[in-house]
Amino acid sequence: MDTPHALFESDLPSLERLARGKVRDIYAIDDEHLLIVTTDRISAFDVVLPDPIPGKGAVLTALSRFWFERLRHIVPNHLADRPLADVLPDPAERAQVEGRALVVRRLAPLPVEAIARGYIIGSGWKDYQANGSICGIPLPAGLRQADRLPEPIFTPSTKAAVGEHDENVAFETVAGQLGAERAAAVRETTLRLYTEAADYAREHGIIIADTKFEFGLDHDGTLVWIDEALTPDSSRFWPADAYQPGGSPPSFDKQFVRDYLETLDWDKTAPAPHLPAEIIERTAEKYREAQRRLGAG
């Protein structure tokens, strides 16, 4: 399943693998730290596809490092100051995941996906068409698909298990789960991160239409940014020079793969169909172009 230039699944016998997500393999280092390996797997419609996208994991890792460092003045993140060689002394194991592994602090994740939207697209567009609002937030009438919203909005969702679908929920649902004060902090932090990142990206030729954040708590109950940071997997990246509302814009993210899959007779449940070589190559190039434009390594 692996190719010479793609990693579908990591294999690190010296560490205990705790979980295998849609894209990431997570290993235990000790009681305080984890190793997160970003593979070249790609998912669409919450289903992992059988074909990896070569180099994708390295791009996502570089982008996450870039944003974690750039936005650390807003909220702490989970990166730990430990070199990979300290965690994986075996050169063969280290070579397998070099450039696609992060040593992070172990934190208690919050049971919510924190989504910021600056444009109306995807499930938000479907909700708006149905009832004129997203996650209970009323929006102006007459918006077109991919229109910029009057201001960014916080539209949380549940965290779904692998193979299941996330569900948009109202802010009140999050407040019921986390408590009003913590829910407000998550909303404020989400919108600050999105706004600053979107301003930077726009100056570099990319529109971040929306993005998903995940947060955890440290031992002191401090809110910490975890998982990934403003990548093409967790966000919709549109080329600013090709943006046109009224349809689904071209993208630097996996929307390209979703659009291809929509042309197939597939019921969006596992097993997923194989991707043609052309789709794989063009998707890999889109990820690399996003990294280049943002100046992220």
pLDDT in tens, 31-50: 999 999 999 999 998 899 99
Residue 272 located in a structural domain: no
79: left (phi over 0), alpha (psi -120 to 50) or beta: beta
Cα within 13 Å of Cα(72), Cβ side: 10
Q: What does pLDDT average to over the chain? A: 94
- Residue 80, pLDDT above cutoff 60: yes
Same domain, 61 and 163: no
Same domain, 88 and 41: yes
- Residue 291, pLDDT above cutoff 70: yes
Same domain, 53 and 175: no
Residue 286 located in a structural domain: no
Q: Is residue 208 within 8 Å of 236, Cβ to Cβ?
A: yes
Same domain, 50 and 114: no
Other beta carbons within 10 Å of 209: 26
- Residue 109, pLDDT above cutoff 90: yes
Strand intervals (E) in the chain: 16-20, 24-28, 33-38, 43-44, 47-48, 101-105, 108-109, 114-119, 133-134, 137-138, 148-154, 206-217, 223-226, 235-239
Residue 292 located in a structural domain: no
- Which residue from 294, 286, 117, 119 is spatially nearest to 200, judged by alpha carbons? 294
- Residue 180, pLDDT above cutoff 60: yes
- Phi, psi of 13, rounded to the nearest 5 degrees: -60, -25
Q: What is the pLDDT of residue 200?
A: 98
Last residue of a domain, one of 44, 76, 106: 106
Same domain, 42 and 128: no
Same domain, 237 and 127: yes
- The stretch 52-78 carries a mean pLDDT of 98
Last residue of a domain, one of 67, 82, 106: 106
Q: What is the pLDDT of residue 256?
A: 84
State how many domains the chain has.
2
CA-CA-CA-CA torsion sign (113, 29, 101, 296): positive
Same domain, 201 and 237: yes
What confidence tier does 166 reach under pLDDT thresholds 50, 70, 90?
Answer: confident
- Residue 278, pLDDT above cutoff 70: yes
| pLDDT greater at residue 2 or residue 137 | 137
Residue 40 located in a structural domain: yes
Residue 297 located in a structural domain: no
- The stretch 80-84 carries a mean pLDDT of 96
Give dist(CA 156, CA 191) in Å, integer. Answer: 12
pLDDT-wise least confident of 6-20, 151-165, 224-238: 151-165
Domain membership of residue 39 as a residue range: 16-106
pTM above 0.85, yes or no: yes
Q: What is the pLDDT of residue 3?
A: 46
- The stretch 262-285 carries a mean pLDDT of 95
Same domain, 97 and 138: no
Residue 278 located in a structural domain: no
What confidence tier does 167 reach under pLDDT thresholds 50, 70, 90?
Answer: confident
CB burial of 214-233 (b: ≥16 within 10 Å; e: otherwise) equals bbbbeeeeebbbbbbbbbbb
Residue 283 located in a structural domain: no
Same domain, 98 and 123: no
What confidence tier does 1 reach under pLDDT thresholds 50, 70, 90?
Answer: very low
**How far from 201 is each of 108, 126, 198, 206, 293, CA to CA, in Å?**
30, 26, 5, 5, 8
What confidence tier does 254 reach under pLDDT thresholds 50, 70, 90?
Answer: confident
Same domain, 93 and 210: no
Last residue of a domain, one of 69, 90, 106: 106
User: What's the CATH code of the domain at 161?
Assistant: 3.30.470.20
Residue positions counted in the chain:
297
- Residue 4, pLDDT above cutoff 50: no
Instruction: Assign 3-state DSSP to the chain and report helix, strand, coil percentages, each to 5.
Output: 30, 25, 45
Same domain, 28 and 133: no
What confidence tier does 164 reach under pLDDT thresholds 50, 70, 90?
Answer: low
- The stretch 215-243 carries a mean pLDDT of 96
